[in-house]
Structure 1
Amino acid sequence: MTNPIKTQRDGAILQVTLDRPKANAIDLQTSRRMGDVFAKFRDDPDLRVAVITGAGEKFFCPGWDLKAANDGDAVDGDYGVGGFGGLQELRGMNKPVIAAVNGICCGGGLELALAADIILAADHATFALPEIRSGTVADAASVKLPKRIPYHIAMELLLTGRWFDAQEAHLWGIVNHIHPAADLMHAARAMADLIASGPPLVYAAIKEIVRDAEDSKFQDAMNRITKRQLASVDTLYSSDDQAEGARAFAEKRDPVWKGR
């Protein structure tokens, strides 16, 4: 079996392409490889942003490989270090990830996209959570969607499994921007370049704060930040980059971020 995960490194940006014909479905082995890729991205100090997309123009990812499941892959099997798709349960992922949805994005594929921080979609992309039709639950989406979009819309999508297009996904805030298919990867790269030019220690702090505060009361979260109880915040406040930001502002020049 050829490697279903293609990676391309360009400066501080890592492009991860799910390339598993015919539909880019994810089995246990593929999920474990994705976890390894994203863990190495997380731990590499020279990489700042990742872009996840699918090979071809028809499929981003339809999620769980039902054929592999029928052949013996257990739904509760070993998905690897980051859980299904290598990303949604990866601990300490404090770097930005952009999903470039280039086609059909359903089931676990939509959950994979939801694990990213920014979602860009081709104008022909379509979405669904059809797990209910195969007698199972879209577990990660059941946790995330009702917190991110109107409750009744989330429940409709979960309970009916109906398909919706990129325009509706944008309407409900599931995707950030829609682009013509030919422009999608250019737009994703432009977004990645913009983020990669920024302060990586601040991004790490933002991501850790957002995760920590998800189920916290406002004042409790603020207390942990101001008391420097979050590792990324403590690192940021003691960093050269923190001083560089103030120095560059005073000197009326662009800051030079070093990530330390």
Structure 2
Amino acid sequence: MAYEHIQFEINDGLAILTLDRAPLNVLNIAMMKEMNQALDSIGEQPVKVLLIKATGKAFSAGVDVGEHLGDQVNEMIEVFHGIFRRMEALGVPTVAQVQGAALGGGCEVVAYCDLVVASEKATLGQPEIQVGVFPPIAAMVFPRQLGYKKAMELILTGDIIGAAEAKEIGLVNQVVPPEDLEEATQKLLKKLMKLSGLVMRLTKKAAVGGLLDDKAKSLEFIEKVYLKEMMTTRDAEEGLKAFLEKRKPEWTES
């Protein structure tokens, strides 16, 4: 199938989904629908590992801010979260290769992957709070991965961190010079592809189940807060519009 905003291929059990809306790979609804179509197309094919990477200077600068406004936000959330629901259902190990900025929704895609190889030039963060919203997926996975204190620091401040700090706190597995990123990723994939796909899927299932946590219910709860409580506020609308209009927001609610 031909895609406009992504590339997708399956080679000998390795599925490769490439974000291809350079230079910043901003995730709009059309692009995210293609990501979902690609993941759906895997079907019963014998895939062992899913690699998510990107063209251009950034992994992804996040979800299109303009598509957070009005009735579009409901479709945006449904399509965006569909990516993670499909990744969860697929059940195979997932690897992210991060060459540059992974911000907002881009950072959430990275955080949701099981393993992350990043360039020394990569930056990661969830700046959503600065435009009057919060990152739903990060709200779900950051406390599990980073611990509550660090998760809240990143989500509440919107700070953007470098690859070295991301590795230190457990958001990234490996950091390498930019020129070594592809080689390091391939080395990791080679290790994984030598293993039993079934055993890796069961191992991941056991590890996730061992958390004694229900991500489906968690995400459903977070979506309700996001859409029914936050997105109906004046501050959320003001923050998003201020970003699009390139001005400072004027908060009116406390």
Same-fold call, TM > 0.5? yes
Unaligned runs of 5+ in 2: 214-254
Instruction: Say if 2:121 and 2:163, in contact at 8 Å, map to a contact too.
Output: yes
Contact 1:17 1:53 in 2 (8 A): yes
Q: TM-score, normalised by structure 1?
A: 0.75
Deviation track 1:18-49 (CA, whole Å, cap 9, x = no partner) reads 0113310111121111012123235312x211
Report the AA paired with residue 180 of structure 1: P
- In the other structure, the counterpart of 2:75 is 77
Find the counterpart in structure 2 of residue 88 from structure 1: 84
Partner residue in 1 for 2:118: 121
Q: Residues 36-51 of structure 1: matches in 2 within 5 Å?
A: 36-41=37-42, 43-45=44-46, 47-51=47-51
Instruction: Tell me what 1:235 maps to.
Output: none
Query: Quick one: distance in 1 between partners of 2:212 and 2:3?
Result: 41
Tell me which residue corresponds to 1:10: 11
Identity of aligned residues (%): 28
Structure 1 unaligned regions, length at least 5? 217-260
Q: Distance in 2 between matches of 1:4 and 1:144?
A: 26
SS of aligned partner of 1:88: helix
Change (3 A) 1:42 1:137: farther
The change in CA–CA distance for 1:94 and 1:122 in structure 2 (over 3 A counts) is same
Counting helix residues as a fraction of each chain, which structure ranks higher? Answer: 2
Q: Normalization by structure 2: what TM-score?
A: 0.76
Query: How many residue pairs were aligned?
Result: 211
| Alpha-carbon distance, 1:195 to partner | 0.6
Q: Residue 87 of structure 1 contacts residue 115 of structure 1 at CA under 8 Å; is this kept in 2? A: no
Is the partner of 2:117 in helix, strand or coil? Answer: strand
Q: Which has the larger radius of gyration?
A: 1
- Of 176, 188, 202, 1:191 maps to 188
Q: Structure 2 CA distance, aligned partners of 1:79 and 1:32? A: 11
Kindly state the Cα deviation for residue 85 of structure 1 after the two structures are TM-superposed: 6.6
Shift of 1:11: 2.1
SS of match in other structure, 2:75: coil
Structure 2 counterpart of 1:74, one-letter code: Q
Quick one: distance in 2 between partners of 1:2 and 1:115?
Answer: 23
Q: What whole-Å deviation, never above 9, does each CA across 1:190-243 have from its counterpart, x for those lacking one?
A: 211211110111111112222323225xxxxxxxxxxxxxxxxxxxxxxxxxxx
Per-residue deviation at 1:68?
Answer: 4.3
Q: Which residue of 2 aligns with 1:100?
A: 97
| Partner residue of 2:137 out of 113, 125, 140 | 140
